[in-house]
Chain A
């Protein structure tokens, strides 16, 4: 969920590549941590294959929620309709909506994974999957909210367009948190 490369003014192949490639390498190095966490959890995943089914969603969804919130906040900042005020009701409306979306999606993820488990044969019960999915999902949602707010307001204060670099970095950092928390919560719940 990244929507800009730095210099939208330029449509030259060479400048698009030279502007963007360094950022891509930085993002790869950040997400490499998620990869190493996944590799470490290989034995866990081989025992409970259903967890592997949940991995891509757990990794993407935190970033998606963060990107949605950041985009809404940065649009409102550009429009001049908000200041950074913790009593701002619209800010809390957005936060509430993101939390409600997270609760819905991570409940659906658990049910979907459970249904797949019935087909491929899995020992994990629906309640175990709900505990794992909602605990890690809601934790990631809270992290996504905090990071998105700090990054959007921070870059606005510094005069940087958040679309350029802040949102890509935040969504990738949140992706990493999604993986680390999901593997951690799963190991804890399953006593692995």
Chain B
């Protein structure tokens, strides 16, 4: 009997979080489907999609984990304020998030070139990643901190919030801004 109640408690605790992540994933999928038309114009765009999405999780998941530990240790207060630790952590995730976006453009172009496959110009791929990374950073950092702070004040453990918030926001805004960024690069280059 103990087995059964433990099983259901894990299931019930986790399912709502995964359903929210599924909703974000389906929205991101619709955007990806809409973006297929641009793939002919920018070969290599599809290579960057999973890498870009995974990186959002890696960079902002780390920021969320750090903020949540800081709150637990009493090093941070749950509000937007000019605290050196908070500012340093936020600046670091801007640098990581935008820096790695540029790296994604470069290594995707490099891999396609090495494999002898068609690829858009290096400047086009890097430009798309840079604009998408920049726009996503603002929304992810603002949204993540706002939701963690609000959840913490309402009595939720931020450790349980970080993963699902990052996955869902990352999918939705990552894909939406990637789509926008492709449209911008189409116009200016």
Contacts and interface: CB of A to CB of B under 8 A. Distances in A.
Interface stretch (B19-27, B146-154, B181-189): B19-27
A76 B89 CA distance: 29
Interface string A121-135: 000000000000000
Given A3-B162, A5-B66, A42-B36, 8 more contacts: A2-B62, A3-B62, A4-B62, A13-B89, A16-B88, A50-B33, A52-B29, A104-B15
Interface of A: 1-5, 8, 11-13, 16-17, 20-21, 23-25, 27-29, 31-32, 34-36, 38-39, 42, 45-46, 49-50, 52-57, 59-61, 63-64, 67-68, 72, 89-90, 92-94, 96-97, 100-101, 104-105, 108-109, 112-113, 116, 120, 163, 168, 171-172, 175, 179
Contacts, number: 211
What is the interface residue range for chain B against chain A? 35 or more
Contact of B89 (A11, A49, A120): A11
B175 interface: yes
A57 B22 contact: yes
B58 to A, nearest CB: 5
Contact of B10 (A24, A63, A94): A94
A55 B29 contact: yes
Contacts of B66: 4-5, 8, 16
A91 B68 CA distance: 27
Contacts of A20: 59, 62, 92, 96
A16 B92 contact: yes
Given A24-B55, A54-B29, A175-B54, A1 B61 contact: yes
Residue from A21, A54, A60 having most chain B Cβ neighbours under 10 A: A60
Nearest to A119: B30
A172 B100 CA distance: 15
Contact of B92 (A2, A17, A163): A17
Given A16-B88, A24-B58, A93-B10, A61 B65 contact: no
Contact of B25 (A12, A38, A60, A89): A60
Nearest to A96: B7
A108 B49 contact: no
23 contacts: A2-B61, A11-B70, A24-B96, A24-B103, A27-B54, A27-B55, A28-B55, A32-B51, A35-B47, A38-B47, A42-B46, A52-B32, A55-B50, A56-B26, A56-B32, A56-B171, A60-B53, A96-B7, A101-B18, A109-B25, A168-B58, A175-B50, A179-B50
